[in-house]
Amino acid sequence: MDTPENSFGSEQAARAAELTRRRFVVVAGAAVAVAGIGAGSADAATGADLKAADQTKPGSAGSGRSPKAPKGQWLAGDTHVHDDHSSDGSGPRQTSHQTLPGNLPVGDQIGQGEKTGLDFMPLTDHRTYDQVWDPQWKSSKLLLLPGEEANGSPHAIVLGNVDVVVDGANPAGSASYRHVQQSIWDVHAQDAVWSQAHPDDGEYTRADGVNDNASVQGADIVEVLNVASDPDVEVEYAENRWNAGFRFGVVAASDCHFRELWDVDSPGEPTTHVFVAQRSVRGILDGFRDGRTTVSQNIAGPFLTIEADVDGDGVFEAMGGDEVVVAARTLSKKASLRVKVKGGKGTTLYVYAAPGRTAGPVATFRPQKANETYELPLVMKGSDHSWYRVEARSPGSASGSEADPNLPDQLRGATSPIFLSVGAPAVPKPEIALPVADTRADKATLVAGEQGKFTGFSDVAVSGKNTHLVAELHEKQATKVIYRRLDSKGRLTKALTLSQRSATARFPRVVATGDNVWVVWQDELGKEQPHQPVILLAQSTDGGHSFKSPVKLSKGKGRAINPAIALLDDRHPLIAWSDNSGGAFDVFAQIVGIDKAAVNISAAGKTVSAGVPTDARSPRYPASLFPVVAVNDDRHAVISWQDDRFDPDSLWTGHTPPAGEPASGGTDPDNWQILAAVRKAPGRSWDTPVQVSRVSDRSDRHPGLTVAADGTFVAIWESGALQSSGANLELRSSRSADGGNTWTSLEQVALAPEAMSQRAALSRDPNGAVRAVWYDSRSTDWRWKVFTATLDSKNGWSEAQQVTTRGNNTWPALDQGVMVFTSDRAATRTQRDRTQQVYLAKLA
């Protein structure tokens, strides 16, 4: 097949040139770049109650226009909150070593966030995503962010991920932070946000300074006001990293575990304010990645902002979190900083420049009124890289449980810095460098995505001479579903946005035959309070040149998520998805054009219980998630998914024993198993689910499914020990020769105990061989690479072969020997470059 490089290269070059024009603005004859301005402007006026304003694009190179002030709004929330899905998530459980019932259900913690008046909140339970599957995870007042507190050590907050981020084990001889770095790359492949949680307990101590974990690159935000630790040491760590060229914003964390302490440590105490161009989950995540944050001891303040007018034209074009690059060290004599404070009376404001507190403040202010504004000159001193920030302090109660109570000026608020550089942005200088990146060429070609944007979660369908591609595009605080077609000559059509005006479309999947193309995805239709995504299906009858308006398939009032699709025949696609309208997530399936409506195929054999009011951990809502679909030549269909109905306390880590008995018998993570249901013909009903994986000491998740040339169904999945961190995932497989009713014993796939193997996909090559692809951590440069193996009916799975080389390569999808995957290989920086694009490789 001809590669699309020639036809696509000129298009990509033009877009890169346009990106450069947007990032660098001619102001009074001097080049000034403000990182983040093009991503959504915002009004830097103070106030958590500031309302959204119209976005304004910055002036372009040669236009004679100066950069304009950012436009947007501040949203108040928390970034680190627990409930009883953490094994230590409530007071009774933590103080009794798990022997007492829990008293902090998901709904109560969300309700407390609503009562506080927050705009957004995640539930970040330890090394689990199960709280997101809890039926109480809903709110009409809050923007709920998916997330977790990941890793064994050091802890990290992940926001916006799509499932649990598994913390693997390092190969012998590796730098100790390798698994942490790989986890950051894994998170960024989802366009999620990585935050260092309480870095005074994981990355830094005053006695020893930074440890190996401080060398990780790409952290988006860092906690500097966690009330369960020592904020002054956290600030010390942040300044240390900024001085070493690391660039990230600051956040606050209640780290709330106890309802008994809601009066002093409730969600939002302290508060993180994030500046967003759009009030949405994506807008919040983008604000975090831009570092446009400020923190305060509670939602009432003190609310601080810092802005910069670098060219001295009276317009404050940069705000806390932005990176400003100037052409020369000498700034305009009129260049200035502006500091605003709300609710600051009784505090003292300190403005710091690099290197920070060790050099003392460059300015001090003592507010006498509720709202005050100050200006001071902006000068460039010392090195080519500097930063400016402001914090508020006052006497009184300790800022954190481990803070020095005798400290006369406790931290009450702080802004992210404005980063100022000459010539080019700062480059991190870690104590332990990353391995040199593999730069060898591979056979992959770029098929979707632009520099500086996220394009991922792709899928592919081959039909005749055409290859149909879908992906998720993140731009302008929106998530969109796009489609492209690649013909036999390597020509790519212009991307079509199938999700129309929606800003909340996700996880597209595609199938095609002849001129018929179907694309399915989930979409919240712009409404995220509460989260109620639906399943949409769009069809093209002209080979992808145009698509009909999407049709809604799901009918429930809950969350319909993660659709899968396969063709029953040339006219009828079979769609499956998960839906929790009935409380627990179940798998629903519908043959479009044959079934009048979707049917629940996973509920049979599942025990659901609302529990008792006296124990927050007593409800049982086993989840059936991440379905995959395969159909053989006789229109015999199988749907497989992951399911935790066999776990002793599904969706809960740890275990609450009967009264008087010791804690035991729990699992962490859950004992997820792979299940399957069979439909022998279109007119038949779905059979009762059967087990594909049948072990009680493993957690089996994220299945893949296909049909071999002889009609055998083949399943693959990732399997991990019942250990929530420090253990690698491996791939396992099973086959069914009787149409999915019974399955063989498991087979290992390309086992490498020292590596993590994730998110496998299956398809059949044109020659009939079953092929698996997945992403894996076994490469020498630490980056995630895509590997492949093939199945021989007699000899089993082949050895693994590495497919990709450059950059991190994740989330592969496969059809008839053609693979698409997500890669950051075009990113130009190890931090603050969200570039993820979709590449295609022909494997057979």
Residues 6+ apart with CB under 8 A from 397: 405, 410
Encode 152-200 in three state secondary structure: CCCCEEEECCCCCCCECCCCCCCCCCHHHHHHHHHHHCCCCEEEECCHH
Residue 562 to residue 710: CA distance in whole angstroms: 29
Render pLDDT for 784-810 as a digit per residue (tens, 0 to 9): 999 999 999 889 999 999 999 999 999
At residue 328 the predicted structure's pLDDT band, cuts being 50, 70 and 90, is: confident
Residue 656: per-residue pLDDT: 64
Residue 105 to residue 15: CA distance in whole angstroms: 48
Question: To the nearest 10°, the Cα dihedral for 141, 142, 143, 148?
Answer: -150
Residue 67: per-residue pLDDT: 82
Sign of CA dihedral 406, 407, 408, 412: negative
Give the least confident one: 87-101, 183-197, 397-411. Answer: 87-101
User: Which position has the token pair 């995805």?
Assistant: 521
User: Which position has the token pair 């369960």?
Assistant: 228
Question: Would you say residue 705 has pLDDT above 80?
Answer: yes
Residue 660: per-residue pLDDT: 64
Question: Would you say residue 35 has pLDDT above 90?
Answer: no
Q: Which long-range contacts (CB under 8 A, 24 or more apart) does 758-761 make?
A: 758/166, 758/186, 758/702, 758/718, 758/729, 759/702, 759/718, 759/810, 759/811, 759/812, 760/702, 760/704, 760/716, 760/717, 760/718, 760/731, 761/704, 761/812, 761/813, 761/814
Residue 29: per-residue pLDDT: 30
530 upstream amide cis, omega within 30 of 0: yes
At residue 98 the predicted structure's pLDDT band, cuts being 50, 70 and 90, is: confident
Q: Chain centroid to CA 644: how far?
A: 23
Question: To the nearest 10°, the Cα dihedral for 699, 704, 709, 713?
Answer: 50
Q: Which residue has the higher pLDDT, 562 or 23?
A: 562
Question: Would you say residue 661 has pLDDT above 90?
Answer: no
Residue 329: per-residue pLDDT: 86
In contact, 153 and 216? CB cutoff 8 Å = no
- 82-105: average pLDDT: 90
Residue 683: per-residue pLDDT: 84
Sign of CA dihedral 556, 561, 566, 571: positive
At residue 527 the predicted structure's pLDDT band, cuts being 50, 70 and 90, is: very high
Residue 125 to residue 102: CA distance in whole angstroms: 14
Residue 800 to residue 660: CA distance in whole angstroms: 50
Question: Would you say residue 6 has pLDDT above 80?
Answer: no
Render pLDDT for 109-167 as a digit per residue (tens, 0 to 9): 999 999 999 999 999 999 999 999 999 999 999 999 999 999 999 999 999 999 999 99
DSSP string, 580-646: -TTSS-EEEEEETTT-SS-EE-S-TT---B---TT-TT--B---EEEEEEEE-TT--EEEEEEE-TT
- 491-503: average pLDDT: 97
Q: Which residue has the higher pLDDT, 84 or 45?
A: 84
Residue 663: per-residue pLDDT: 60
Question: Would you say residue 460 has pLDDT above 50?
Answer: yes
Question: Would you say residue 180 has pLDDT above 60?
Answer: yes
Give the least confident one: 12-26, 424-438, 442-456, 678-692. Answer: 12-26
- Give me the chain's average pLDDT, please: 91
At residue 665 the predicted structure's pLDDT band, cuts being 50, 70 and 90, is: low
Residue 330: per-residue pLDDT: 87
- 317-326: average pLDDT: 97
Residue 383: per-residue pLDDT: 87
Residues 6+ apart with CB under 8 A from 463: 512, 513, 514, 517
Instruction: Name the region of 399 (left: φ>0; alpha: ψ -120 to 50; beta: rest).
Output: alpha
Residue 9: per-residue pLDDT: 41
- 41-50: average pLDDT: 28
- 17-23: average pLDDT: 34
Question: Would you say residue 657 has pLDDT above 70?
Answer: no
- For 15, 102, 789, the CA distances from 841, given in Å and listed in that order, are 23, 50, 15
Sign of CA dihedral 797, 802, 807, 813: negative
- 453 residue type, one letter: K
Residues 6+ apart with CB under 8 A from 665: 648, 655, 657
Query: Would you call 213 helix, strand, or coil by DSSP?
Result: helix
Question: Would you say residue 15 has pLDDT above 50?
Answer: no
Domains and CATH numbers, the chain: 73-422 (3.20.20.140), 445-654+665-842 (2.120.10.10)
Residue 25: per-residue pLDDT: 28
Give the least confident one: 27-31, 511-515, 663-667. Answer: 27-31
Question: Would you say residue 573 has pLDDT above 80?
Answer: yes
Residue 426: per-residue pLDDT: 97
Residue 97: per-residue pLDDT: 80
At residue 658 the predicted structure's pLDDT band, cuts being 50, 70 and 90, is: low
Render pLDDT for 777-788 as a digit per residue (tens, 0 to 9): 999 999 999 999
Sign of CA dihedral 376, 380, 382, 384: positive
Question: To the nearest 10°, the Cα dihedral for 538, 542, 545, 546?
Answer: -40
Give the least confident one: 96-105, 701-710, 761-770. Answer: 96-105
| 803, burial (CB in 10 Å: exposed 0-12, middle 13-18, buried 19+) | buried
Residue 44: per-residue pLDDT: 32
User: Which position has the token pair 């077609």?
Assistant: 485
Render pLDDT for 369-401 as a digit per residue (tens, 0 to 9): 999 999 999 998 778 999 999 999 999 999 999
Question: Would you say residue 39 has pLDDT above 60?
Answer: no
How many other CB atoms sit within 10 Å of the CB of residue 530? 17
| 28, burial (CB in 10 Å: exposed 0-12, middle 13-18, buried 19+) | exposed
How open is the CA angle 647-649-652, to the nearest 5 degrees?
A: 110
Residue 605 to residue 676: CA distance in whole angstroms: 13
Short-list 462, 465, 458, 502, CA closest to 483: 458
Render pLDDT for 278-297 as a digit per residue (tens, 0 to 9): 999 999 999 999 999 999 99
Question: Would you say residue 345 has pLDDT above 60?
Answer: yes
